[in-house]
Structure 1
Amino acid sequence: MSAMGWESMFRAMRGDDRRAALEALLAVMEADASGDAGDRPCCPRCGCPHVVRRGRDADGAQRWLCRGCGRTFRGTTGSVLASSRLDGPTWAEYAALMVSGATLRDCAAACGVSLRTSFSMRHRLLEVMERSLPAFEAGPGCPVQVDETLVPDSLSGNHSRGGAPMPRPARRRGGDGARGGVSRDKVSVVVAANPRGGVFLQEACRGKLGVGDARRAMAGCAVEGAVVSTDRQKGYVRALREMGAAAHLRFASGGSPAPLNLVNSVHSALKAFLSRFRGVSTRRLHGYLMWFKWQREARRLGDLPGAIREHMGTARYRLSWRERVGAPYPFHPEMGVQMEG
């Protein structure tokens, strides 16, 4: 029940590890397809443990009634295979293809689905990955490096079907790209890293990072009591003070790279990761940031097959296809009309 986001991770693994991870991956998908959620599962919607049996579906899967919210569910409700017309073997084939590095079109052709369905499968898995990731934490006295990196602001999508005009001239392949340096043509991504291997990534704003941007972007970054190092970006000063950082060390960007070498290495790895996709739409950027984080977290784990079972076996998705394709472009309120793409 995994796939796409682990393509690079599997490529970097040795043959035995790759086979073991894929076997674990397919085992999780088979269990998910069977709807076997144990004797007394918790409600996937409200988390209430008080459930009772409520008959079986046409395929024989057990159905449950939640005493908390009053809704029924089965073992696969909210999982990767929920509401999917594709069976477990098809998802398993998709996973195997993505592990081998196949593109969306290749996966669509091999699995007998449309390109749209292949796209939906990828992003459903990306959402599941994000929901299974651990939160970034840094305990008292833990050193943390924070710095932002810039990626192109991409408005790719089907704009011909929407009523909102483009806020800038469209960029064509092979033509002039975004302006260099810090500009409104770039999206600032706040990155935090600690020596334990934990990383935090969050898209923040277009152009230069401000106080409010830093505050919003780092809302999910627990740095209370930590010793935080940044460059001389003023936006971090007030935000880190409000977040309870024990100390805030600031270094000049043009000086020695040693004080921020850890977070700079994450920047380099992130840029290399994103470059494989030849451009990522800004409204899809967050999913790919979580994909990158998942890849790093998976490499840190000693028992990769067990970790896949633990995370993916319990992870849930929330967004429907309509909600996913209708997602607005962040940092562009003037493009309020949602478009496909």
Structure 2
Amino acid sequence: MEDKMFNDIIDSIINNASDDEIEIIREKLNNHLINHIYDTNIHEELSNNYDSSFCPHCQNKHIIKYGKDNKGNQRYLCKECLKTFSSITGSLLSYTKKQPYQWFEYIQSLFNGDTLARSAAIVGISEQTSLVWRHKILSILATLTDDDPVLSDTVYLDEKLNVVSHPGKHIENKEKVKRGMSHQKRNIVCAIDQHNNKVIQVSETGRIHSKELYKIYKDKIPSTCQVVSDSLRSYHKLMKDLKVKWVKIPSGKKEKDGYTLKKINDLHSSIDLFLYKYRGISDKYLRNYMGLYKYKDQHNKYYQKKVFLHIFKEIINSLCALKFSDFKYDSKFFAI
């Protein structure tokens, strides 16, 4: 009832207003909505928080202030490459004509696990645009979560296999998916310590090599750790190179000396549950989706207003390498 009354009032004002007055009313309503969502002028706040110590084009630090753009954002001039940029250059806001509050609502919808269609309806964009926005945000999250924490004490590790998928791409003589390890499976390298710190990295296909494992774990598992794992062949050299105490659970056994792989198996189940919602994820974007999983895991109270506002600021202030031109709009390439 209240919503209908509010809409009737708005319709009455707009119907009796001139074109110039309508634009002013829309601008005021938009500003009111932005302030209602953020409790502050988010555009100005993001501009003030911007790191203006280097040029986003050439990374040179010899820059000067160069007036303001038509939205009031401070502009800069790089004395090295002579290119100008603003406080939003390279961010999500620099590649869009949409309002900041729409990005806020979209990121919130993404974290809630909504479908592309649902997110598009909430924000008021097409499903194609919704897909592009999702991948741009996911690419940022993958970068933000790329550096995993250093593990300590007892560490449990094992790889999760994910079927390599190429939605929308025609593959002649498609092979039947094999059981167990094969080139058809992508390794998601997983490790978790007794304090629930995690290392999760998308790695090579097929049987994973000790060299690849060592590259991932060399700075994440100190020699003071005790590592619990199965007896995979690649682990033998890995444990020797890491110089750790190794509790090797024999093939066909579930435990050794009271140690089991339940903790790492629970992590695999959690990843499975997350990926299930996005059935048909392209192998090309698997790392980015795992970035969302890791970011939500690190910010598990993302649903709280203050926490989510911090998340939004971090995403919006991060550089985004993807542009609309990087995506193909032919329906056969319209893949998750």
Structure 2 length as normaliser, TM-score? 0.72
Matched residues in 2 for 1:86 and 1:318: separation? 18
Larger Rg: 2
Q: Is the 8 A contact 1:153 1:187 kept in 2?
A: yes
Q: Give 2:116's aligned amino acid.
A: L
Specify every segment of 5 or more residues in structure 2 that has no aligned partner in the other structure, as ranges: 1-33
Query: As a proportion of its length, which structure holds more helix?
Result: 2
User: Deviation at 1:305?
Assistant: 4.2
Moved more, 77-86 or 66-75: 66-75
User: Deviation at 1:281?
Assistant: 1.4
Aligned to 1:133: 145
Q: Is the 8 A contact 2:46 2:317 kept in 1?
A: no
Matched residues in 1 for 2:142 and 2:39: separation? 17
Aligned to 2:229: 230
What RMSD over aligned residues (CA atoms) do the two structures have, in Å? 3.6
Specify every segment of 5 or more residues in structure 1 that has no aligned partner in the other structure, as ranges: 1-22, 160-165, 171-176, 327-338
Aligned to 1:62: 74
- Name which structure has the greater RCO, CA cutoff 8 Å, separation 6+: 1
Aligned to 1:299: 300
Matched residues in 2 for 1:77 and 1:251: separation? 52
- Percent identity, please: 22
CA deviation string 1:104-153 (max 9, x = no partner): 123324434232211111111112222323722336x5322210111212
Aligned to 2:86: 74
User: Deviation at 1:262?
Assistant: 1.7
Aligned to 1:262: 263
Q: Select the residue among 119, 123, 139 that pairs with 2:131.
A: 119
Query: Kindly tell me: are residues 307 and 238 of structure 1, through their superposed partners in 2, closer, same or farther at Cα, counting changes over 3 Å?
Result: farther
Aligned to 1:195: 194
Q: Give runs of aligned pairs for residues 158-173 of structure 1, distance below 5 A.
A: 158-159=169-170, 166=171, 168-169=173-174
CA deviation string 1:63-117 (max 9, x = no partner): 0124566543211122222211222132233234445553212332443423221
Query: Kindly tell me: are residues 29 and 136 of structure 1, through their superposed partners in 2, closer, same or farther at Cα, counting changes over 3 Å?
Result: farther
Query: Kindly tell me: are residues 210 and 99 of structure 1, through their superposed partners in 2, closer, same or farther at Cα, counting changes over 3 Å?
Result: closer
Q: Is the 8 A contact 2:148 2:220 kept in 1?
A: yes
Query: Kindly tell me: are residues 33 and 124 of structure 1, through their superposed partners in 2, closer, same or farther at Cα, counting changes over 3 Å?
Result: farther
Q: Select the residue among 34, 38, 54 that pairs with 1:27.
A: 38
Moved more, 76-85 or 219-228: 219-228
Structure 1 length as normaliser, TM-score? 0.71
Query: Kindly tell me: are residues 93 and 190 of structure 1, through their superposed partners in 2, closer, same or farther at Cα, counting changes over 3 Å?
Result: closer
Query: Kindly tell me: are residues 232 and 39 of structure 1, through their superposed partners in 2, closer, same or farther at Cα, counting changes over 3 Å?
Result: closer
Query: Kindly tell me: are residues 212 and 39 of structure 1, through their superposed partners in 2, closer, same or farther at Cα, counting changes over 3 Å?
Result: closer
Matched residues in 2 for 1:29 and 1:273: separation? 33
Equivalenced residues, count? 293
